[in-house]
Amino acid sequence: MPDARPLRGEGPRSHRDVPAWVRARFPEPVRDDPALCPPEVPGQLGLFPTPRRLFTITDGARIHGRSLPDLELVCAELGRMASERGVGPSWVIPLSTWHSTGISTPRQVTAEHIEAALESLAGHHARSVHGALRSLFRALRRERLIFRDPARTVSLTSARPLPTTLPSDRLTGILDQLPDSRSRLIVALVAVHALAPQQVASLRLADLDRSKARQRVRRPQRLDHVFYLDGFLMNLVYAWIRDRHQRWPDSTNPYLIVSRQTAIDSTGPAVCAGVIKKPFRHSGFTAQALRTDRILDEARDSADPVRLMRQFGIANVTAVKYVFTAHPDKRPHPIGP
């Protein structure tokens, strides 16, 4: 603000765009050191510049006499930013509530106020408000406008659903309910090899090795995943390739799964997500439910996360999660010896 002197050096100073509530309270231009206050990063809340994080006794003395905008001005500015960026203004409600109860500046907000504001919220709304308040008070603390960050010690617990299996009676005859060979192949790849829908759409004909009965899954910035096809899946692959060649004999699309639009498209695009999701609507299951059921069934038999990683190409954290869900006795005690 007007007395915001650089924390180090006497380098060149320049005027910087500041929020409207700062200009309304301090008509004089705010002078910032460009070496200490870099430009705003796109996508972040442009409230304050970011000086160095080292906090000294001199900085504390400057905080004591430094002017701080009222919560009413902060709420108005944040609401304007939320409307411009298309963000829901619901997380501004706690600030307005604190202002109506007599809290005039952010320095008066304590951890108890933040906990009381989050107590009445749940789910995604609570997480978004909690993250917004932590970002706001962290920025105030970095700008030496408050002595301590009241949101730093406030934690929000959230329930993480564990993977669940599907009833075996509902899985019986699931492929017989599908109308064509493409739908049966898509569902079988997810139900047997636990491929994600986007992985099914990205499979290429050139990566199908028919002599060795294996298929390669290309994964950007990661090692490719290779899985083997048994006789049942190879029959489904052959049936779909025959149908594809009969319907579009001149198609040059490099992907294994094609649709009516992509088969004749000269640019050779992959199918959209709707084509992959359509067979699962006929079966009554979601792709994620079938994929979870397959990995969890394998985790019950092996209890080896390395085997799950090699067989399904999943990350180590995901493999351990499935093993602990299938075998709760293997989960380490939270308070170890």
Tokens of 163: 């993977």
CATH number at residue 317: 1.10.443.10
Asked whether residue 20 is domain-assigned, the answer is yes
Q: State the amino acid at position 39 in one-letter form.
A: P
Cα 259 to Cα 111, 183, 233, 278, distances in angstroms: 56, 11, 20, 12
Same domain for 178 and 265: yes
Contacts of 15 (CB under 8 A, 6+ apart): 29, 30, 31
Same domain for 32 and 91: yes
Same domain for 173 and 318: yes
CA 77 – CA 147 distance, rounded (Å): 22
Same domain for 103 and 46: yes
pLDDT by residue, tens only, the chain of 337 residues: 444 444 444 444 344 445 555 555 555 544 444 444 444 445 444 444 444 444 444 444 544 555 555 666 666 766 676 677 665 656 566 777 777 777 877 778 888 888 888 887 777 777 778 887 888 788 778 777 777 888 888 877 766 665 665 665 555 678 888 888 999 999 989 988 999 999 999 999 999 999 999 999 998 888 899 999 988 889 999 999 999 999 999 999 999 999 999 999 889 899 998 999 988 888 778 888 889 989 998 998 888 899 999 999 999 999 999 998 888 888 776 555 4
DSSP secondary structure string, 293-319?
HHHHHHHHHH--HHHHHHHH---HHHH
For residue 188, what are the domain limits? Answer: 168-330
Same domain for 121 and 258: no
Q: Supply the pLDDT for residue 200.
A: 93
Task: Report the domain count for the chain.
Answer: 2
Same domain for 56 and 204: no
Q: Supply the pLDDT for residue 164.
A: 61
CA 315 – CA 281 distance, rounded (Å): 28
Same domain for 138 and 175: no
Cα 217 to Cα 77, 223, 290, distances in angstroms: 48, 9, 19
Q: Supply the pLDDT for residue 10.
A: 41
Task: Kindly tell me the burial class for residue 322, based on how many C-beta atoms sit within 10 Å of its own C-beta (0-12, 13-18, 19 or more).
Answer: buried
Residue with tokens 């029959």, as numbered in its chain? 235
* Model confidence, pTM: 0.56
Cα 257 to Cα 50, 107, 137, 197, 285, distances in angstroms: 50, 59, 50, 11, 20
Cα 86 to Cα 79, 82, 83, 139, 241, distances in angstroms: 10, 6, 5, 21, 46
CA 169 – CA 154 distance, rounded (Å): 46
Asked whether residue 148 is domain-assigned, the answer is no
Q: Supply the pLDDT for residue 134.
A: 83
Same domain for 176 and 292: yes
Same domain for 294 and 172: yes
Query: Of 142, 176, 201, which one is at a domain's C-terminal end?
Result: 142
Same domain for 122 and 212: no
Same domain for 60 and 132: yes
Sign, CA dihedral 280-285-286-288, equals negative
Asked whether residue 9 is domain-assigned, the answer is no
Same domain for 317 and 205: yes
Residue whose C-alpha is closest to residue 301's, from 197, 196, 167, 165: 165
CA 115 – CA 131 distance, rounded (Å): 13
Asked whether residue 335 is domain-assigned, the answer is no
Asked whether residue 81 is domain-assigned, the answer is yes
Q: Supply the pLDDT for residue 105.
A: 77
Asked whether residue 109 is domain-assigned, the answer is yes
Residue whose C-alpha is closest to residue 62's, from 51, 71, 70: 51
Other Cβ atoms less than 10 A from the Cβ of 261: the count is 11
φ, ψ for residue 283, nearest 5 deg: -80, -20
Q: Supply the pLDDT for residue 202.
A: 92
Asked whether residue 192 is domain-assigned, the answer is yes
Q: Supply the pLDDT for residue 95.
A: 72
Asked whether residue 152 is domain-assigned, the answer is no
CA-based angle 88:90:93, to the nearest 5? 145
Residue whose C-alpha is closest to residue 315's, from 194, 179, 215: 194
Query: Of 107, 142, 177, which one is at a domain's C-terminal end?
Result: 142
Contacts of 51 (CB under 8 A, 6+ apart): 7, 33, 36, 37, 142, 143, 144
Q: Supply the pLDDT for residue 167.
A: 61
